Amino acid sequence: MPDSALITLRRFTTARVGLGRAGNSVSTRDLLDFQLAHARARDAVHHPFDPHAVVAEVEACGLQSTLVSSAARSRIEYLRRPDLGRRLDEASSQGLRQCSGPFDVVFIVADGLSPLAVQTQAAQLIRAVTDRLGQTWRIAPVVIATQGRVALSDEIGALLGADLAVMMIGERPGLSSFDSMGVYLTWSPRPGRTDADRNCISNIRPEGLSIGAASELLSLLMHESRARRVSGVTLKPENAVRIGDAGSH
Domain boundaries, the chain: 51-247
* Mean pLDDT within 33-57: 89
What is the CB neighbour count within 10 angstroms for residue 43? 13
Say whether pLDDT at 119 is over 90: yes
pLDDT tens-digit readout, 55-105: 999 999 999 999 999 999 999 999 999 999 999 999 999 999 988 889 999
The model's pTM: 0.85
Residue 208 DSSP symbol: S
Q: Letter for the amino acid at 12?
A: F
Q: What is the pLDDT of residue 249?
A: 31
> In Å, how far are 50, 109, 173 from 43, measured between CA atoms?
15, 20, 9
Least confident of 85-94, 170-179, 221-230, 237-246: 237-246
Rg (CA), the chain: 19
Q: Letter for the amino acid at 36?
A: L
Contacts 24+ apart (CB under 8 A), 79-85: 79/45, 82/149, 84/147, 85/147, 85/148, 85/149, 85/152
Say whether pLDDT at 11 is over 80: no
More reliable by pLDDT, 175 or 72: 72
Q: Where are the alpha helices (DSSP H) in 73-210?
A: 75-80, 90-97, 115-133, 152-160
* 51-247 CATH: 3.40.50.11240
DSSP readout, 164-178? EEEEEEEPPPBTTBT
Q: Letter for the amino acid at 148?
A: G
Dihedral in degrees, nearest 10, Cα atoms 144, 211, 215, 12: -130
Q: What is the pLDDT of residue 240?
A: 54
Q: Is 67 helix (H, G, I), strand (E, B) or coil?
A: strand
Q: What is the pLDDT of residue 248?
A: 36
* Mean pLDDT within 212-220: 95
What's the full length of the chain, in residues?
A: 249
Q: What are phi and psi of 89, to 5 degrees?
A: -75, 165
Say whether pLDDT at 246 is over 70: no
Say whether pLDDT at 5 is over 80: no
Mean pLDDT of the chain: 89
Give all strands of the β-sheet with 181-187 in edge-to-edge order: 65-69, 142-146, 103-110, 162-170, 181-187, 198-204
